[in-house]
């Protein structure tokens, strides 16, 4: 079923969270210029979205992942914690499986690339509104491939979770907190919280001590 075939009571209220001014403007124009749609709000960062989206209460939110400050994934998590029930479609340039699963786990219903044609984007919004979970062909393929891979052990023998192992691995490579946050699509404060838990579990107090213990030296 496509945009022209699905009946919907106009207007379907859609919010946009996108830091790129041009992309945000194009999406606003597309939504406001398409029958049955309206752009209910547009924000350039996750902090504004977390604060103001609950008041707007749109039907669907188009959410970028790589936002300045808190990521789009973290933004969804914080909004869900507030009881925000609107539907989310991740609209991003990222194709990697980890970002897909983090997005879906956070509460997103769809995951599309930013180069999705306008008509297909409108179809996807309607699809989500009517209970679907749209994904681009490339993303769907990656999801299938990930399901075909052996599942990772959620906790290691040292008590670290899979996420904590990822962060500790990043520390061994010399990555800064901000770089780790960007790599894993979480905010810096979340990285700090995980590292605090890592130190507690490994019974260490510094990065170097954690790395030495992790590497078994």
69: left (phi over 0), alpha (psi -120 to 50) or beta: left
Give the model's confidence band at 151: pLDDT under 50 very low, under 70 low, under 90 confident, else very high: very low
Residues 35, 129: Cα–Cα separation, whole Å: 16
State pLDDT tens for residues 63-115.
Answer: 999 898 899 999 999 999 889 999 999 998 876 667 777 787 788 888 888 88
Q: Are 167 and 198 in contact (CB under 8 A)?
A: yes
State pLDDT tens for residues 11-38.
Answer: 899 999 999 999 999 999 999 999 999 9
At 159, phi and psi to the nearest 5? Answer: 90, 0
Count of other CB atoms within 10 angstroms of residue 27: 22
Q: Give the total residue count for the chain.
A: 217
DSSP 106-121: HT-SEEEETT--HHHH
| Class of domain 12-147 as given by CATH | alpha beta
Q: Which residues pair with 42 in a beta bridge?
A: 16
Domain ranges of the chain: 12-147, 162-215
Domain 162-215: give its CATH code: 1.10.10.10
| Lowest-confidence segment of 47-56, 170-179, 206-215 by average pLDDT | 206-215
State pLDDT tens for residues 110-150.
Answer: 888 888 999 999 999 998 898 888 877 666 666 656 555 55
């Amino acid at each position: 079923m496509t945009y022209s075939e699905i009946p919907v009571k106009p207007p379907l209220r859609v919010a946009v969270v996108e830091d790129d001014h041009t992309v945000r403007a194009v999406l606003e124009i597309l939504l406001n210029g398409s029958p049955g749609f309206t752009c209910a709000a547009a924000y350039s960062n996750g902090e504004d979205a977390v604060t103001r989206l609950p008041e707007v209460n749109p039907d669907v939110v188009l959410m970028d992942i790589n936002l300045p400050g808190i990521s789009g994934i973290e933004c969804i998590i914080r909004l869900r914690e507030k009881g925000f029930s609107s539907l989310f479609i991740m609209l991003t340039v990222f194709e990697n499986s980890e970002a897909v699963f983090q997005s879906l786990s956070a509460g997103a219903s769809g995951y599309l690339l930013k180069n999705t044609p306008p008509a297909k984007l409108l179809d996807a919004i309607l699809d989500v509104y009517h209970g679907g979970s749209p994904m681009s062909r490339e993303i769907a393929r990656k999801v299938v491939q990930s399901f075909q891979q052996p599942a990772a052990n959620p906790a290691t023998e040292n008590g670290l979770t899979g996420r904590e192992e990822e962060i500790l691995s990043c520390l061994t490579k010399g990555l800064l907190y901000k770089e780790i946050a960007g790599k894993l699509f979480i905010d810096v404060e979340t990285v700090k919280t995980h590292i605090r838990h890592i130190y507690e579990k490994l019974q260490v107090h510094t990065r170097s001590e954690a790395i030495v213990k992790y590497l078994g030296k």
